Amino acid sequence: MTTLLKINASLFSTQGQSSQLAERFVAARLAATPGLKVISRDLGAEPVPHLDAARFLSFLAKPEERSAEQQAVVAYSDALIEELRQADEIVIGLPMYNFGVPSTLKAWFDHIARAGVTFRYTATGPEGLLTGKKVTIFAARGGLYAGTPKDSQTTYVRDFLAFIGITDVEFVYAEGLNMGDESKAAALTAAHGKLAELAA
């Protein structure tokens, strides 16, 4: 059975444009793939806590020395990682806020990047341990940024995913959404076309 993990990163939960694109893609994948299992995580509705010193030290503590609070932190992280480990495909609805990724997505990244669990250090550098997965990212932006120095998202997200072993990453951009009705309609039409092509 193929498993798909859907991550909505919009502050507006399922109402965000990126979330709606991701939902549309997943619906198309379900239609094309009988028996597809979907795991959903909505970072707007259920934000992952931001990393702080206490949470980070919980990850570093030896298992036998962890307090009950530290064990709970690690168990939460383990659950997020297990969702990712189960997934053959990952779909991310990714809005752009102030030139970056939503802080809730960064918090999710911080909880799934665990040395010895999702990556390891070797004599030749870090090695990602979550290989063999395909990621499709629906990047919704109010302005036009793709291919310009102001698009800090694409490189950052690609680099992070590669760090944990995921290198098959496809971006679908819906840009200019705040630049008038005509621009928005054209961007969404193009994104829907690309979405249908990839889902098939």
The answer to whether residue 59 sits within a structural domain is no
The answer to whether residue 195 sits within a structural domain is yes
The answer to whether residue 68 sits within a structural domain is no
This prediction has a pTM of 0.96
Q: What mean pLDDT, rounded, does the chain reach?
A: 97
pLDDT attached to residue 24: 98
**138-149 exposure pattern, b = at least 16 Cβ within 10 A, e = fewer:** bbbbbeebeeee
CATH code assigned at 183: 3.40.50.360
Q: Fill in the amino acid letter for 146.
A: A
28: domain range?
A: 3-44+80-199
Strand partners, 3: 37
pLDDT attached to residue 65: 97
Q: Half-sphere exposure of residue 58, counting CA atoms within 13 Å on the CB side?
A: 19
The answer to whether residue 155 sits within a structural domain is yes
Count the domains in the chain: 1
The answer to whether residue 7 sits within a structural domain is yes
pLDDT at residue 1 tops 90: no
Q: Which two tokens stand for residue 10?
A: 């919009």
In this structure, what are the phi and psi dihedrals at residue 117, rounded to the nearest 5 degrees? -115, -55
| pLDDT tens profile 133-179 | 999 999 999 999 999 999 999 999 999 999 999 999 999 999 999 99
Angle of helix 53-60 versus helix 68-86 axis, rounded to 10: 80
| pLDDT tens profile 181-196 | 999 999 999 999 999 9
The answer to whether residue 71 sits within a structural domain is no
> d(Cα 72, Cα 77) in Å, to the nearest integer?
9
pLDDT attached to residue 92: 98
Binning pLDDT at 50, 70 and 90, where does residue 23 land? very high
The answer to whether residue 57 sits within a structural domain is no
Q: Which helix (H) or strand (E) holds 125?
A: strand 125-128
| pLDDT tens profile 51-80 | 999 999 999 999 999 999 999 999 999 999
The answer to whether residue 98 sits within a structural domain is yes
> d(Cα 44, Cα 11) in Å, to the nearest integer?
5
